[in-house]
Amino acid sequence: MNILSPSILAADCARLGEEISLVEAAGAEYLHIDVMDGMFVPSLSFGMCVVSSLRKVTDMVFDVHLMVEEPIRYAADFAKSGADIITVHLEACSDVEETLDWIHSLGRKAGISIKPSTPILAVEKYLDKIDLLLVMTVEPGFGGQKYIPASTARIREARQLIDARQAHVDIEVDGGITRDNVQVVLDAGANIIVAGSAIFNGNIAENVKNMMEILAPGPDGK
């Protein structure tokens, strides 16, 4: 099943609750929440208080992407705040397995994210410990970037690896995804689509509708 996960990094913070209501009413099931610490990536963004506040106004699946050093330090706080999926960067964990096990012990789904420069094979040994693999299609840390074309082959490689291992792992993509290229990443094997500017710039409800029409399965179920 293909899923749209609108990224609130591109939303208007002054109207955050209202804009989330719009994407939810339009049919989006997930909400992508980027957390940046100014260390792993240069930028700063949302923290636990934002997640807990938003949890009060929506039942959407909170897809929380921790772009922070040693995310194991914050997993419990984000779980308590309302995160449903907690994704950490392979490059940011001194002990990846311990971090993933800790997230699962909190009753949450666990994901690994990798930068464009990190080989896909680096996640192979963790496939039995993750629910989701987030393949970054831009450099993490800033919204509004253009999709890196080389990402398509990386997504395809990730899908082949997961299928070969018969692992039950979703492939999420994040960065520069628009109506013009979303079919490319779907065809390569991604099934969770993060979109920020493509959703929150302009008519939000219409943008969600148009994107989800592309994500909808065809007659062959794909």
User: Which CATH number covers residue 164?
Assistant: 3.20.20.70
- Spot the catalytic one: 37, 63, 131, 174: 174
For residue 205, being part of any structural domain is answered with yes
Is 197 part of any known ligand binding site? Answer: yes
Indicate if 63 belongs to the active site. no
For residue 71, being part of any structural domain is answered with yes
CB atoms near residue 16 (< 10 Å): 16
| Calpha distance 151→149 (Å, rounded) | 5
Using the Cα atoms of residue 193, residue 198, residue 203 and residue 204 in order, give the sign of their dihedral: positive
pTM of the model: 0.94
| Calpha distance 180→164 (Å, rounded) | 29
For residue 12, being part of any structural domain is answered with yes
For residue 220, being part of any structural domain is answered with no
For residue 221, being part of any structural domain is answered with no
pLDDT in the model for residue 41: 79
Structural domains of the chain, count: 1
Structural domain of 63: 3-215
pLDDT in the model for residue 39: 75
* Secondary element (H or E) of residue 150: none
Is 52 part of any known ligand binding site? Answer: no
pLDDT in the model for residue 218: 56
- Spot the catalytic one: 12, 34, 59, 170: 34
Indicate if 174 belongs to the active site. yes
Is 38 part of any known ligand binding site? Answer: no
User: Running along the chain, 222 residues long, what does each successive block of 10 average in pLDDT?
Assistant: 95 93 96 88 80 94 96 96 97 97 98 97 97 94 82 98 97 95 97 96 96 79 50
Is 32 part of any known ligand binding site? Answer: yes
For residue 222, being part of any structural domain is answered with no
pLDDT in the model for residue 46: 78
Across the chain, the runs of DSSP E, i.e. the strands, are 3-6, 30-36, 61-67, 85-89, 109-114, 132-136, 170-174, 192-195
- For 50, the token pair is 């934002």
Is 174 part of any known ligand binding site? Answer: yes
Those residues whose C-beta lies under 8 Å from the C-beta of residue 59, and which sit 6 or more positions away, are: none
pLDDT in the model for residue 219: 46
